[in-house]
Amino acid sequence: MTERVERGESAVGRRSGDASGRPPELDRDTLATRIMQFDRRSQDLGERRAAAVAVVVVVDREGPGIVVTRRAAKLRAHPGQWALPGGRIDEGEDPEDAARRELHEELGLSLDREVVLGRLDDYSTRSGFRITPVVMWAGAVADAMTPNPDEVASVHIAHASDYDVDPMFAMIPESPDPIIRVPMLGAWIHAPTAAVVYQFRELALHGRTTRVAHFEQPVFAWR
C-alpha cells in the first residue's frame, strides 16, 4: 500500500512487537485480566443516542483476531464504511445485550453473555451517538459467521499483525482535535472504528491505557 504523509500527519505504519517484528500474542486470560483492571471512562448520554459495538475476538487458522465489517452500500447511514458489528441500544437493553444482538443480526452469531469480558471507553460520534465498545472472546466461531447482505458487504478477521500498527493523526480546519485513522486490511479505517481498534490494540496487546475519546472523525462521517 502506498503511503502519503499529508500536512499535520505523523509517520504511519510502524509495527510494534519484539525485536523480530512479531506482534505480541493475544490470549483470553491476559485480555480478560487487562479488561478487568482497565479504568474505563464513560460519558453522559445527554442528547445523544446510545449505541454499542462488539470488539469480538474469534479464532481461526491464523489464531485470534477481531471481527471488522464493511457496511452494505445500500444502507442509509454510513454506507460502505468500515465498522465493528453494532448499532443502537434498544429499550430494555444494556450495551452487552445490544452488542450480542447486533452480532446475531449482522453475522448470525448467537453468543451467550459469558463471552463478554468488559467494556472500553465510550466514544461520542459527530452523528449523535454515544458508542460503548463491548469486548468479547467468542473463540472458534469464525466459520459460523454468516453475514447478512442487507447490512454487511464483507466480513474480515483482523489479526494482531494487521492492527498492531501506529495510527495516523491529521489536523483538519473543521476541528481543533486530530482525526485518527489506522492502516489495516489493505485500507484506511477511520474513527470511530479506528479509535476503538487503537484503544483495544494498546490495552490488549501492550497493556497500556490510551485514551481515544478526543480523536476526531473525518468530515464525511459527521453526517
Non-local (6+) Cβ contacts of 49 within 8 A are 88, 128, 129, 130
Beta strands in 38-104 (DSSP E): 49-60, 63-71, 82-83, 86-88
Q: Note the pLDDT of residue 8.
A: 32
Is residue 186 predicted with pLDDT exceeding 70? yes
Confidence of residue 23 (pLDDT cuts 50, 70, 90): confident
State the DSSP H helix or E strand holding residue 105, giving kind and residue range, or none if neither: helix 95-107
Phi, psi angle pair for 188, to nearest 5°: -100, 125
**All structural domains of the chain with their residue ranges:** 28-164
The predicted pLDDT at position 3 comes to: 26
Q: How many CB atoms lie within 10 A of CB 186?
A: 8
- Give me the half-sphere count of Cα atoms (radius 13 Å) on the Cβ side of residue 107: 31
Class of domain 28-164: alpha beta
pLDDT category of residue 22 using cuts at 50, 70 and 90: confident
Alpha-carbon gap, residue 51 to 112, rounded angstroms:
19
Whether the pLDDT of residue 184 is over 90: the answer is yes
| pTM score, whole prediction | 0.90
